[in-house]
Structure 1
Amino acid sequence: MAAPGKKDYYEILGVSRGASADEIKKAYRALTRKYHPDANPGDKEAEAKYKEINEANEVLSDPKKRAQYDQFGYVGDVPPDGFGGAGGGFGGFGGQTFTQEDLGDLFGDLFGGGFGGGRRRSSNPNAPKRGADLEASVKISLEEAYKGTKRKLEIPRLDTCPHCGGSGAEPGSKVETCPACHGTGQVREVVNTPFGQMQQIVTCAKCGGKGRTVDRVCTVCRGNGRVQKTQSVEVKIPAGVDNGTRLRVSSKGEAGINGGPAGDLFILTEVMPDARFTRKGDDLNTTIEISYPQAALGCEVKVDTFDGVEKLDIPAGTQAGSKLRIKGRGMPRLRGKGSGDMNILVRVKVPKSLSAKERELLIQLARESGQQVKA
């Protein structure tokens, strides 16, 4: 049913309130043909009817607008004048003023709890609250990431005031329940809304939401219960961390409120580039250079690792660009057993200058293999 004094769009289109979208469309087309100004030149009544038909169709053909119209009898954010009482609001449903919680319960029953999420109950302002988490970053070398290391960090944080023990009151001062909020830390205030007057819950201005007042606030923390301090924290960085690894140090965040637990400290690692190795996942990559005779005949070379020098066998006939591997000499796996591998890229070094004897030997080698060279 439409609001008193308002248009009934279903009646205008001549359909029932349960009409389908197709039925509404069919009725609209029939009526527009009948009342179109081109079919009724100079007929003011037909022109007004045509406008009503279009207005009704605009609302009933849109699912969202139709749903609002079905619920409230109007479309838009603000009710039309005369909707449900004076002043354009619900008028408190017969003069009664509803709180936000009341309307939350009412609309929750009617429409599935979609109005403010239902009743909200205030929490105890003096209940213990966990402190905020903090975050810091550390730069480490790739070798430190390989072996693990420690860092001593200076972290600024809010700590429990040593003078008042976190109460916010000067020792020996008088603590009383706030007379404005009666210890709840919250008060109700009346606001005007499209639905009429509503009461909403806000933080008590007199006590700042604490639910209590003191005649003398702490001279050190000025009533906050916490003070800014710098704490020294030694952080253990495990082997295997990578760029962006986030480590948690329990209870090293900001101090809690009203005796609540402290937050945590999170450490973000930044691994610096290394001159010898590059990292890919849990593997380490490096490059070695060998001579042409070493590549052709094979040899044994020494490869640097983070655990010392490792011997590597170069097979005869190794080509430039070949990749060899030393198992288990990559990065330790941070969350797992074992380590990655070390991958070695082989480059064949060509000398830029030769002695007379080296030149003669290479010419003989070229002739022996049938290759043309500049003699």
Structure 2
Amino acid sequence: MSKDYYKILGIQKDATTEEIKKAYKKLAIKYHPDKNKGNKFAEEKFKEINEAYEVLSSPQKKNNYDNFGSADFNNNFNTESFSKGFKNTSFHHFENFELFSNIFGSSTKGILKDKEITIKISLYDAYMGGKKSILTNNEKIEINIPKGTSATTQLRFNGKGNINPISGKRSNLIIKFEISSYKNFTLKERNLETKIRVYPWEIALGSEKIFETIEGKKIKIKIPKDTKNGEKLILKGLGMPALGNTVKGDLKVKLIVDVPKIINDEVKKIYERLKELYN
């Protein structure tokens, strides 16, 4: 066995995949060319570390190496070209790659994974649509948020994802959304839900209330008599628009009874009279 890859990475032969990756990351950062300009020893060490990781991170190559002392590594990997590729990559970017497992697939064969970014938007922006900009790979990306965006919506930007440090090619960028509530509105599937406070006589006798929708429109809500506390009024077609068309879900308004405080003797007498009637 010409080289002891386990010794190079400073790990035991029974090291786990995570331990191998952790050891590699630590050493690769330590001996990266950007931190050791002109240092031949560090340059050779960096090549050696990458060679060891290429073998030990691949189950098939690791198995060949453990059993036969060779992974046929030199037939399909050129450490010189690999190292030169990373000389053109800044150390800052290298640290944020989370190594190759995040920018490539499960191995380091050069198949780039799409870069996924989740951005937070308000329910108002999801309902109305809007714009948002992000900075990724030192590039500003303008995102048009479509009306009816939900937590399952994904936007794809071709060629704006991870950068292959060797070839310079880029994968795609996938934008996902995390939607926060807006004012008193929340989203459940395609339905909007909110709450309004009402007085006991409003739900007992029936009444009308002015209500402001998520888009700021004022509408009149009819509360039927004998409505119960916590009951939901369903307003058809006032919910979340479906992505790509005008169909909307419903708006569910939960009624919360607000019991008035006793502010004077007259109110106290009313409560005492109600007590007599219901006893």
TM-score (norm 2): 0.53
Are residue 153 (structure 1) and residue 134 (structure 2) matched? yes
1:265 Cα offset (Å)? 1.2
Q: For 1:360 and 1:132, locate their aligned partners in 2 and report how far apart those are by CA, in whole Å.
A: 72
Partner of 2:247: 338
Q: Is the 8 A contact 1:131 1:260 kept in 2?
A: no
Distance 1:320 1:133 in 2: 49
Q: Indicate the residue corresponding to 1:63 in structure 2.
A: none
Q: Alignment RMSD, CA only?
A: 2.9
Q: 1:293 deviation in Å? A: 1.4
Does residue 295 in structure 1 map to residue 203 in structure 2? yes
Offset, 1:246: 2.2
SS at match of 1:324: strand
Q: What do the CA deviations read for 1:15-60 (whole angstroms, capped 9, x no partner)?
A: xxxxxxxxxxxxxxxxxxxxxxxxxxxxxxxxxxxxxxxxxxxxxx
Note closer, same or farther for the CA distance 1:277–1:371 as it changes in structure 2 (3 Å cut): same
Match of 1:136 in 2: 117
What are the residue-to-residue correspondences of 1:156-167 with 2, within 5 Å?
156=137
Contact 1:130 1:262 in 2 (8 A): no
Q: Deviations over 1:263-289 (max 9, x none)?
A: 321112111233412211011111111
Counterpart CA distance in 2 for 1:148 and 1:286 is 20
Residues in 2 aligned to 1:364 and 1:136: alpha-carbon distance in whole angstroms = 62
CA distance in 1, matches of 2:139, 2:168: 19
Aligned twin of 1:348:
257
Note if contact 1:132-1:255 (Cα within 8 Å) is conserved in structure 2.
no
Q: Is residue 357 of structure 1 aligned with residue 277 of structure 2?
A: no
Tell me what 2:278 maps to: 371
Partner of 1:238: 146
* Cα distance change, pair 254–320 in 1 and its aligned pair in 2 (3 A): closer
In structure 1, what is the Cα distance between the partners aligned to 2:111 and 2:244?
29
Q: Deviations over 1:248-270 (max 9, x none)?
A: 12332357899998532111211
Q: Report the Cα distance in structure 2 between the residues aligned to 1:354 and 1:318, rounded to whole angstroms.
A: 26
Higher Rg = 1
1:343 CA drift (Å): 0.4
- SS state at 2:257 partner: strand
Q: CA deviation at 1:314?
A: 0.9
Give the distance between the partners of 2:166 and 2:197, measured in 1 at CA: 65
Query: Given residue 285 of structure 1, which amino acid in structure 2 is its aligned partner?
Result: E
Q: Is the 8 A contact 1:137 1:268 kept in 2?
A: yes
1:130–1:260 CA contact under 8 A, matched in 2: no
2:228 to 314, 319, 325: 319
CA distance in 2, matches of 1:245, 1:251: 19
Calculate the TM-score normalised by the size of structure 1: 0.40
Structure with bigger RCO (C-alpha 8 Å, 6+ apart): 1
**1: distance between equivalents of 2:174 and 2:111?**
16
Q: Give me the whole-angstrom Cα distance separating, in 1, the residues matched to 2:202 and 2:141.
A: 52
CA distance in 1, matches of 2:207, 2:174: 49
Within 5 Å, give how 1:84-95 maps onto structure 2. none
Q: Distance in 2 between matches of 1:345 and 1:326?
A: 11
CA contact under 8 A between 1:136 and 1:266: conserved in structure 2? yes
Q: How many residues align?
A: 169
Q: Secondary structure at the residue paired with 1:334?
A: coil
Task: List gaps (5 residues or longer) in structure 1.
Answer: 1-128, 157-229
Amino acid at match of 2:236: K
Alignment of 1:114-129 (within 5 A): none
- Distance between the aligned counterparts of 1:295 and 1:136, measured in 2? 46
Paired letter, 1:265? L
Instruction: Kindly indicate whether the alpha-carbon contact (under 8 Å) linking 1:154 and 1:232 is maintained by their aligned counterparts in 2.
Output: yes
Asked if structure 1 preserves the Cα contact closer than 8 Å seen for 2:112 and 2:170, the reply is yes
Q: How far apart in 2 are the matches of 1:265 and 1:316?
A: 54
- Asked if 1 retains the 8 angstrom alpha-carbon contact of 2:132 and 2:144, the reply is yes
After superposition, give the CA deviation of every residue in 1:39-93 in whole Å (9 maximum; x if it has no partner).
xxxxxxxxxxxxxxxxxxxxxxxxxxxxxxxxxxxxxxxxxxxxxxxxxxxxxxx
- Name the CA distance, whole Å, in 2 between partners of 1:283 and 1:148: 17
